[in-house]
A and B are shown apart, each in its own frame.
Chain A
Amino acid sequence: MTWKPELDELERRRQLALELGGPDKTARHKGQGKLTVRERVAGLVDAGSFEEVGSIAGFPEYDAKGNLMGLTPANIVCGRARVDGRTVFVTGDDFTVRGGANDGGLRDKFAYAETWARRWRVPLVRLVDGTGGGGSVKHLETLGRTYLPDVPVFTEVLDALSEVPIVALGLGSVAGMGAARVCASHYSVMVRGTSQLFAAGPPVVARAGQNVTKEELGSSSIHAKNGTIDDDVDREAEAFARARRFLSYLPASVHELAGRQPSNDRPDRTAEELLSAVPRDARKVYRMRPIVEVVVDAGSWFEIGRAWGKSVITGLARLDGWPVAVLASDPYHYGGAWTADASRKAIRMVDLAQTFQLPVVHFVDIPGFLIGKEAEASGVMRFGTQALAAVRNSTVPWCAIMVRKAFGMAGLTQRNGSLAFLRYAWPSAQWGSLPIAGGVEAAYRAQIEAAPDPAAKRAEIEAKLEALQSPLRTAEAFGVEEIIDPRRTRSYLCRFAEFAAPLRQPGRPHFGYRP
């Protein structure tokens, strides 16, 4: 006698679980251009690496004699897997069972799926396609009572952000807790057209007097532009690729350090175009992204959050194989001035860098915080000051390339709170507490007004001050570490990455990561 009959019974249950919510619901789901949860897991992880946990957990139906008649699987599929050879934990919602809502799941399996990664110190990838924690109000009838809203495990879910990298992909219409699970991540992506995200969906919103479609209410474009998510893509496969790419720069947890990858790009490679990258005409803008791309290891630039907070560009890259976080100004957007959104976006990247000990490179061209009525109405100084705090509280090694402007309080973001910071200035750099043009008016008003030709007097004073603005004069007073040849920027940064590597300190961040 063997235990083969039991194994057969196990296999039968596994096969039933693979049918998800049944052929009709699966066909309808796929008909909307979406993959099933199992196809998603397969698309994300290394081929054959998925080791499922709780594969037969669900809702069995037995007849009076105890024979299994059917099995509806719990609507979470989870397990360990490998991504580019490294262990991760994956949890995916199955929309074909009760719309991915909590009442189609098992509380213990949900808790397990959300906490395993944190407890075992590996990255977590969530494939979110479900609604709230409460499921449907129908649930009240079954329960015969109501309850205080709580998801006991959510304290640990949120704390996990200070322990392991978390990537969340919004792959359907996600509401309530589903939406919060997308946002409670270090990197989040939605798919254009097939995913939406909201606190509550159109039927609930309609009761509050707004009649809108899912897309009008919470399309990926709305949320990529307001910073609720980091990026949106055209297809689910792209979302998987971005998840893998994001994780490639990070350690498995805060208790380890990110590894160096072999690089074929010479650290001393020069870039001739950088000599003329910044126009001499002070009012002319230039493209920052090509500057970043030519400086970092070839092909290593991974931009995050392109659609929002546009005056600051954020992303991950490698320098001689070492992963780093990058901030860079985009002069095409308010001349690089930090807006409320740009400040929020910078906070997100700096906190990520601090949490996972990625040294930061900042390409600086910041005329200040955005000024004017709209800027004040947006609360720019509150969010800007939060950004200053995030930068100055961070202690990870930091290197600024002073590309052009650094003015005012926003200019303080050139360096962080680390004792290990470096600033290299291009000859095009200029800086100060106030830009000359605006400052002259305020500081020399009496002199200008008293002059026979006030306009000529203003111009004379401006010319006199501008002559003092060369970065060489600052360097002569050792007000900046070094002025460099822009063409050689890469070699300086690669050496920075090398100096920085041993200074990285694993361990929990000194703050609780706030998504």
Chain B
Amino acid sequence: MARNVIAPVAGRVIQCLVQSGEMVAPDTEVAIVEAMKMHIPVVAEQTGRVALWLVSEDSQVAEGQALLTLQD
């Protein structure tokens, strides 16, 4: 089943920290989003393999927007 990792805050994706195919677990930092001049880590909430990035570095994201898709 596919699940998404979502942006906890609106801002600019300044770094993608995991690549397609990589495994992540709860608390793995998958990206850094810049908001209010702070670098805010986005952490995975579940275990899974990164299937697809839905955004790229430097893109603006909305709060709650899906950043990447995880597969079992």
**A334 with B39: CB separation less than 8 A:** no
B44 to chain A, nearest CB (A): 14
B63 to chain A, nearest CB (A): 7
- A-chain residues with CB within 8 Å of residue B40 when the two chains form the complex: 285, 331-335
**B41 with A334: CB separation less than 8 A:** no
Shortest Cβ distance from A437 into B: residue: B37
**B38 with A331: CB separation less than 8 A:** yes
Known: A371-B36, A374-B62. A333 touches B41 (CB 8 A): no
> A283: CB under 8 A from chain B?
yes
Complex interface bits, A49-87 against B, C-beta within 8 A gives 1, otherwise 0: 000000000000000000000000000000000000000
A151 to B64, CA, bound (A): 39
B:1-53 near A, CB below 8 Å: 8-10, 34-41
**B41 with A285: CB separation less than 8 A:** yes
How many chain A residues touch B (Cβ–Cβ < 8 Å)? Answer: 19
> A128: CB under 8 A from chain B?
no
**A367 with B10: CB separation less than 8 A:** no
Shortest Cβ distance from A331 into B: residue: B38
- B-chain residues with CB within 8 Å of residue A333 when the two chains form the complex: 8-9, 40
**B37 with A283: CB separation less than 8 A:** yes
B65 to chain A, nearest CB (A): 11
- B-chain residues with CB within 8 Å of residue A284 when the two chains form the complex: 38-39
- B-chain residues with CB within 8 Å of residue A374 when the two chains form the complex: 10, 62-63
- B-chain residues with CB within 8 Å of residue A292 when the two chains form the complex: none
B37 to chain A, nearest CB (A): 7
B38 interface neighbour in A285, A310, A372, Cβ under 8 Å: A285
**A283 with B39: CB separation less than 8 A:** yes
- A-chain residues with CB within 8 Å of residue B8 when the two chains form the complex: 310, 332-333
> A161: CB under 8 A from chain B?
no
Complex interface bits, A370-397 against B, C-beta within 8 A gives 1, otherwise 0: 1110100000000000000000000000
Shortest Cβ distance from A332 into B: residue: B40
**A370 with B62: CB separation less than 8 A:** no
A367 to B40, CA, bound (A): 14
A310 to B63, CA, bound (A): 12
How many chain B residues touch A (Cβ–Cβ < 8 Å)? Answer: 13
**B35 with A335: CB separation less than 8 A:** yes
> A337: CB under 8 A from chain B?
yes
- A-chain residues with CB within 8 Å of residue B41 when the two chains form the complex: 285, 332
> A435: CB under 8 A from chain B?
yes
- B-chain residues with CB within 8 Å of residue A335 when the two chains form the complex: 35-38, 40
- B-chain residues with CB within 8 Å of residue A332 when the two chains form the complex: 8, 40-41
- B-chain residues with CB within 8 Å of residue A285 when the two chains form the complex: 38-41
- B-chain residues with CB within 8 Å of residue A370 when the two chains form the complex: 36
**B39 with A337: CB separation less than 8 A:** no
A335 to B39, CA, bound (A): 8
- A-chain residues with CB within 8 Å of residue B10 when the two chains form the complex: 372, 374
A:297-331 near B, CB below 8 Å: 310, 331
With a 10 A CB-CB cut-off, give which of B9, B36, B40, B41 has the most chain A CB atoms: B36
**A283 with B62: CB separation less than 8 A:** no
**A367 with B37: CB separation less than 8 A:** yes
B8 to chain A, nearest CB (A): 7
A310 to B7, CA, bound (A): 13
- A-chain residues with CB within 8 Å of residue B62 when the two chains form the complex: 374
A332 to B9, CA, bound (A): 9
- A-chain residues with CB within 8 Å of residue B35 when the two chains form the complex: 334-335
A310 to chain B, nearest CB (A): 8
A377 to chain B, nearest CB (A): 11
A283 to B8, CA, bound (A): 17
Shortest Cβ distance from B14 into A: residue: A283
A367 to B38, CA, bound (A): 10
Shortest Cβ distance from B64 into A: residue: A225
A:335-392 near B, CB below 8 Å: 335-337, 367-368, 370-372, 374
A325 to chain B, nearest CB (A): 25
With a 10 A CB-CB cut-off, give which of B10, B34, B38 has the most chain A CB atoms: B38
B30 to chain A, nearest CB (A): 14
A372 to B39, CA, bound (A): 17
- B-chain residues with CB within 8 Å of residue A331 when the two chains form the complex: 38, 40
Shortest Cβ distance from B10 into A: residue: A374
- B-chain residues with CB within 8 Å of residue A367 when the two chains form the complex: 36-38
Shortest Cβ distance from A281 into B: residue: B39
Shortest Cβ distance from B35 into A: residue: A334
A437 to B37, CA, bound (A): 9
B42 to chain A, nearest CB (A): 10
A283 to B39, CA, bound (A): 6
A374 to B61, CA, bound (A): 12
Shortest Cβ distance from A438 into B: residue: B37
Shortest Cβ distance from A435 into B: residue: B37
Task: Give 11 pairs: A residue, B residue, CB < 8 Å, sorted on A.
Answer: A283-B34, A283-B39, A285-B38, A285-B41, A331-B38, A332-B40, A333-B8, A367-B37, A370-B36, A374-B62, A437-B37
Binding site for A on B (CB under 8 A): 8-10, 34-41, 62-63
Binding site for B on A (CB under 8 A): 283-285, 310, 331-337, 367-368, 370-372, 374, 435, 437
Q: A335-B37, A367-B36, A374-B62 are in contact. List 6 more A-B contacts (CB 8 A).
A: A284-B39, A285-B39, A331-B38, A331-B40, A333-B9, A337-B36
In the A-B complex, the 9 residue pairs with the closest CB atoms: A335-B38, A335-B36, A283-B39, A337-B36, A334-B36, A367-B36, A334-B9, A334-B35, A285-B38
